Chain A
Amino acid sequence: MNRLTLIGLQVLVAVVTLVFWHIASTTTLIGNPKTISFFFAEPLAVGKRMVQWFMEGSIWYHLGITLTEAALAFIIGSLGGVIIGFWFARKPLLAAVFDPYVKAANALPRVVLAPIFALWLGLGIWSKVALGVTLVFFIVFFNVYQGVKEVSPAVLSNARMLGMNERQLLRHVYMPSALSWMFSSLHTSVGFAVVGAVVGEYLGSAAGLGYLIHEAESVFDVTGVFAGMFVLMGFVILVDWLVTLVENRLLVWRPKTSVISNR
């Protein structure tokens, strides 16, 4: 199958879904259109609402807030994960002592922390950043830890025989290996940073996409909820695409990605 037919088929899925949605919510073919459009909104109205948001420009403010929160959560969580991950991997005793506590902390569903963070850090962006950090940190931490542990023994012995000291091993062997693991989890960790931001906003805030959806929901404005969800979807897809670009650039030495980008 060539690329064009694939894209054609992908677009077809969207068109069929939208047409079905439109027919169901405006004609009597499936059921009472009033009931259906109350629960599921109308696609045209949703589209109009999104256009209106972008034309007025109000949406940019909310997008900017959510993006800032997600970016801060990602940066702080990743830094923490890399540093602690390295530290634990190089100090097995430390890792063994803290192992049950790390597992316990990771087992906790992070949503329950949102009220605590709101209490500690207020309703501004930092309570959302904190929620995102708790999600991102563990993903990066476990991947970096694994990456340091899983360095091929042959590569490690070879680097030692080439005269590397501890610091040089860290820079030329452990770091690249750990980062490659971290980058392969980039999609997940970036996704979780956005989840943290949106869930935090949803549970209590005055700005952001989560806030927008929550506000619409509280007045049964289903059109607003769906419009918010679609903007959020588009936003996440865009971020994911950027991550793919970064990943292809950074992991050029890895067999799979480089074949796609070089050939």
Chain B
Amino acid sequence: MTIAQTTTSDLNEAHGVNAVELNGIRIAFPLPDGGTYEAVGETNLVVSDREFVAIVGPTGCGKSTLLNATAGLLKPAQGQVRTFSKPLSGLNKHAGYLFQQDSLMPWKTAIDNVAIGLEVAGTSRREALEQARAWLGKVGLAAFADRYPHMLSGGQRKRVGLAQVLIRHPKILLMDEPFGPLDAQTRLIMGDLLLNLWSADRKAVMFVTHDLDEAIGLADRVIIMSAGPSSRIIGNYTIPLARPRNMADIKSEPQFHEVHREIWNALKEEVLKGYRQTEEVQS
């Protein structure tokens, strides 16, 4: 398998390198009245290669904005995004992005949606379909290859999305509340699936969520952001839980609760203050 080889050598080459560096970036949007809205205040964040980082914060705090800047979909107003020691220009070619909204092409079947990432890179259609079939198997959807997205449930669509992103072997995986719209059980199952796939071929992951439990269960490191506007990082916690982990079981472990309590105690005030701020702005 040529792809596996290149990936391994690329990983070796990149080992010990920072996959993502956000150096003092600020992100602002123009407002209709001529002013600007600063979504993210000056922020520094480093994600090393093979590290799983979860970013937690209240809704509307600019977590997605941070991912978009890393993906190259959005240019920061100030500061620099670096990826594997090179400044980012244009789209981040190392990154695969699993969006919060449904982003499968509705006019393509599940297998075509997965294969397209290889096809556009020049892989022959036969080879691409073969690999896509294998990836659909890995996410447990082998029997659904010929279904169109609207014939799949929300969870199944997310699985197809995951296969679609992972088939290209990105070195950085950006995930924007990917399991947000799913029910609690499905979220646990999807979390386990993600951990399984990730542990086979560790990539740098930036996982945005508003669920602290999910963040602690999945990540090596949890970053907490304050509420916007001008949100910033207000907490950075390394999670000492051993791997491999199981999303359902881990919540009953005493260590999980210790970590959870520690983070929550430290942040409660800050987070609640943030929420009050947002409410004042909104009212």
**Which residues of A line the B interface, CB within 8 A?**
152, 154-155, 157-165, 168, 172-173, 176-177, 180, 252-255, 258
Determine if B105 and A176 form an interchain contact, defined as CB atoms under 8 angstroms apart. Answer: yes
**Which residues of B line the A interface, CB within 8 A?**
71, 73, 91, 93, 95-97, 99-109, 116-117, 120-121, 148-151, 164-165, 168
Chain A residues with Cβ below 8 Å from B99 are 154, 157-158
If the complex has contacts A158-B97, A161-B91, A162-B120, are A152 and B103 also in contact, measured as CB distance less than 8 A?
A: yes
Chain B residues with Cβ below 8 Å from A162 are 116-117, 120, 164-165, 168
Determine if A155 and B103 form an interchain contact, defined as CB atoms under 8 angstroms apart. Answer: yes
Determine if B107 and A154 form an interchain contact, defined as CB atoms under 8 angstroms apart. Answer: no
- New A-B contacts (17) at CB < 8 Å, excluding given A154-B102, A161-B91, A253-B106: A154-B100, A157-B97, A158-B104, A161-B97, A162-B120, A163-B121, A163-B168, A164-B120, A165-B120, A172-B116, A176-B105, A176-B107, A180-B107, A252-B148, A253-B108, A258-B148, A258-B151
Chain A residues with Cβ below 8 Å from B168 are 162-163
Determine if B102 and A253 form an interchain contact, defined as CB atoms under 8 angstroms apart. Answer: no
CA distance A163 to B170 in the complex (A): 11
Chain B residues with Cβ below 8 Å from A172 are 105, 108, 116, 120
CA distance A164 to B103 in the complex (A): 14
Please give me the residue from chain A that is nearest to B101 by CB atom.
A154
CB distance from A168 to the nearest CB of B (A): 5
Chain B residues with Cβ below 8 Å from A160 are 73, 91
Determine if B106 and A163 form an interchain contact, defined as CB atoms under 8 angstroms apart. Answer: no
CA distance A157 to B107 in the complex (A): 16
CA distance A255 to B106 in the complex (A): 10
A163's partner among B71, B73, B108, B117 (CB-CB below 8 A) is B117
CB distance from A158 to the nearest CB of B (A): 4
Chain A residues with Cβ below 8 Å from B97 are 157-158, 161
Please give me the residue from chain A that is nearest to B102 by CB atom.
A154
Chain A residues with Cβ below 8 Å from B108 are 172, 253
If the complex has contacts A252-B148, A253-B107, A253-B108, are A157 and B73 also in contact, measured as CB distance less than 8 A?
A: yes
User: 8 A-B pairs, CB-CB below 8 angstroms?
Assistant: A158-B99, A158-B164, A162-B120, A163-B93, A176-B105, A253-B108, A253-B150, A258-B150
Please give me the residue from chain B that is nearest to A151 by CB atom.
B105
Chain B residues with Cβ below 8 Å from A152 are 101-103
Most A CB within 10 A of own CB, among B96, B107, B108, B148: B107
Please give me the residue from chain B that is nearest to A176 by CB atom.
B107
CA distance A172 to B107 in the complex (A): 9
Please give me the residue from chain B that is nearest to A173 by CB atom.
B105
Chain A residues with Cβ below 8 Å from B149 are 253
